[in-house]
Amino acid sequence: MEIEAVILGNGDYPSHPYPLDLLQQAPYVVCCDGAANEYIHRGHTPDAIIGDGDSLSAENKKKFADIFHPIKDQESNDQTKAIRFLQAQGKHRIAIVGGTGKREDHTLGNISLLIDYLQEELEVRMITDYGVFIPTHNSQTFTSYPGQQISIFNFGAKGLQADGLVYPLSDFSNWWQGTLNEATGTEFHIKASGNYLVFQNFR
């Protein structure tokens, strides 16, 4: 998909070339609060900084006051605030980098929220240092390479079946039971009704 914006999250700053290139080539970059500090330190200028400002340095808060959009909302985390900010501008095709690492409860929340965004008909993907998370609705074909590690997290989908994966899928009773699968060739197909999350690791 052609990305309209990249969100740089509060997790570990990306180190893999894929998320770094995405960030470099992004037409529009939103930093979540303190993530802006490192991004600016590396010589970049974000298009917007979102959050409650509690981890943004005093210097950056002052210097980038014109693009800092403080949003107070106890119901959403910084990642979701950034999504809402982009949504309001009509930007729907979004990549999230830096969304994992550091506190694991944040990592779990940030990944799971991808399913919320899917339900709002946004096209959001998360690119980490290890692979990509793709929130998916119903049946879908994915590009892969032989031996690629694939994990499927079930968020209520029924009738899960796969072509092109080593291990068969089934209607998991627990949502994490589709982890640690593997692609057999250059594409695989998942048949399902409902929402699930696909993780494909980098080569």
Query: Which residues form the interface with a second copy (CB under 8 A)?
Result: 74, 77, 100-109, 111-113, 115-116, 128, 130-131, 133, 149, 151, 153, 167, 174-176, 179-180, 199, 201
- Closest C-alpha to 94, from 124, 133, 134: 124
Rounded to 5°, the CA angle 62-66-72 comes to 85
Report in angstroms how near the CB of residue 65 gets to a second copy at its nearest. Answer: 26
Q: Which is nearer to a second copy, 25 or 173 (CB)?
A: 173
Detail the DSSP E strand segments found in the chain: 5-8, 29-32, 48-51, 68-70, 93-97, 123-127, 131-137, 140-143, 149-163, 178-182, 187-201
Report in angstroms how near the CB of residue 133 gets to a second copy at its nearest. Answer: 7
The neighbouring-strand residues paired with 69 are 50
Q: Which is nearer to a second copy, 60 or 80 (CB)?
A: 80
Q: Which is nearer to a second copy, 159 or 176 (CB)?
A: 176
Q: Which is nearer to a second copy, 40 or 113 (CB)?
A: 113
CA distance 152 to 94: 21
Q: Which is nearer to a second copy, 34 or 46 (CB)?
A: 34
Report in angstroms how near the CB of residue 176 gets to a second copy at its nearest. Answer: 4
Q: Which is nearer to a second copy, 149 or 161 (CB)?
A: 149
Q: Which amino acid is at 18?
A: Y
Report in angstroms how near the CB of residue 110 gets to a second copy at its nearest. Answer: 9
* Ramachandran area for residue 118 (φ above 0: left; ψ -120 to 50: alpha; else beta): alpha
Tokens of 120: 């709002």
Instruction: State in Å, rounded, how far the first CA of the chain is from the last one.
Output: 20
Report in angstroms how near the CB of residue 63 gets to a second copy at its nearest. Answer: 28
Report in angstroms how near the CB of residue 62 gets to a second copy at its nearest. Answer: 27
